[in-house]
Amino acid sequence: FNIAYQSSRYRFLQVIKNIVFSPLYKVIMLDFFMADQLCSQVPLLRNLEYIACYYITGSYKTQDYGYCIRTTHYRDLAYAVSFLPYYWRAMQCARRWFDEGQASHLVNLGKYVSAMLAAG
């Protein structure tokens, strides 16, 4: 299962680690670019989550399209999938404000905090 070079896979995982632990590291362009991409892909991630639930639970056999939406585990996971990219990006903005002291980073922080509130 070799879909990308090993060095590319390693770098991708390293960037994801930096995004998750962004309050602990200096944020570089690649990290916040990838976090922005994750924020842009929230609808896609939620659709992939629904498709996975639909086929893993066997709902396709009975064509019960609403099963995944009715379960609390799915709703909790959907909230986390929607919330986490915005949280990670907000933490990056907070870290950049801490490092650089520019007020524009606080404005961006506010933007992502409001997106977190609306994510549910």
Residue 30 lies in a domain: yes
Residue 11 lies in a domain: yes
Residue 94 lies in a domain: yes
Residue 106 lies in a domain: yes
Residue 98 lies in a domain: yes
* Entry pTM: 0.85
Residue 1 lies in a domain: no
pLDDT in the model for residue 5:
85
Q: DSSP labels for the chain?
A: ---S-HHHHHHHHHHHHHHHTGGGS---HHHHHHHHHHHHTHHHHHHHHHHHHHHHTTHHHHT-TTHHHHSHHHHHHHHHHHHHHHHHHHHHHHHHHHHH--HHHHHHHHHHHHHHHH--
Question: Along the 120 residues of the chain, how does pLDDT read in single tens digits?
Answer: 677 888 888 999 999 999 999 889 899 999 999 999 999 999 999 999 999 999 998 888 888 888 888 888 888 999 999 999 999 999 999 999 999 999 999 999 999 999 999 986
Q: Which two tokens stand for residue 27?
A: 């944020």
Structural domain that includes position 103: 6-118
Number of domain units in the chain: 1
